[in-house]
Structure 1
């Protein structure tokens, strides 16, 4: 039986979303890779094409509307996805005709509220800031870890901050907006660095003003993406910890911007941004296991 999916995106960061109450979904890594594979430009065979696959399961705990699972396009299950979280929150609120919702993930409970027409605010919880929460292979001050790219005496990039938003992030601060070439070259190098035993998402943040960050993110298991919600949260937290931005800032990707607040009252990270519903479809039989 083919399974129905929704194709959604947040600032171009795109997802294949399935609800599992009426259609079980327990994919292998190979299934995820087949779904996520993008058709080639020369007409070669591909799947639906996406950065992540998301399953919305029935709730497992009181007070939650669902339990949500995320997979990167390489087939690995991941703890959180900020843009995907907004999409899920919007779907759950639309289906229940509510203006707020809470749901659980492997990274903990997340919640969202409607902030406008297809505009959603989500509470991403508190960031993990200890070295063993990222995790790192050894103890370091995560405000600026001992890592550099380039010549030892004159590194191109150095002393990035580290933040866990339910998934690990390292954030380099750069003097000018990062190019795709920089993000691809350095991101692919750092993603599997021995300092990060679970791999890492790599951000390149340019501080344009105290309320404005320009960002590119190389996502663990997905590569260079149009936008990354948890990456935006991590960049803002890392910048605030270094005294580079105020508590609320616009985090801008080439595809659009998110508003991120690292709330002082309880330490939670609050993200506001748009969602887009692209189309509905059926998974091919060969990847509908």
Structure 2
């Protein structure tokens, strides 16, 4: 079984060691909100514990109480919501009909969340007439050993005592994952590691040198020859590089055009004059695809 505690503003800094689930008081009646609930929630979630919320029910004004509860709790996916059904500080008793209506109202407001009932042994055996406990029974029976409440009805949580001024409970699940599956907690999003090192910048080929053409030596044909060599279209040593766009360079350009004919001038099957688009593609092929 799992271990749980339930807390209110009376436990501003609860001890979370060994605790799997924390049930936080969110609200009471139509106007009271636990002023510490957000700080408590932050601490509980930060410690990796499961979260549930409870509302202390008063007689009447059921829909307003349900709406106030949801507003105060602001529950997240996988949180569980509970109705605390017991005698109020004014010594009034919400009826069994009030309890049933509240459970139904909260479920309607948050249909994807589990909604459960908290009450003590006396309320369950002597005040309840419907056995309506929503998605589960949270029973207070401090006179019984942990996990052995004196009820015939299936139970979800057993509040069995007080430790360090805090109510302690056991939860009828074997693992936290079973609780999360039952509560509908979303699966964790797998985080992919960011790529190491700087992101490479897109390659930008050098500008096409105006006037580059077969037979010319100005501008120099050496950059073209080096690009043809790097891309695998020309075998030439550094000592044989020449400023002149001669026969060797033409042969390399011809082989480039044979592999990528879209860059050859239309209607000229023997074209060996590279243009700006072919130049840009050749340099990207040679130097930009690493």
User: Which range, TM-score by smaller chain?
Assistant: under 0.3
Bigger radius of gyration: 2
- Which TM-score applies when normalising by structure 2? 0.27
| Greater RCO, CA 8 A, separation 6+ | 1
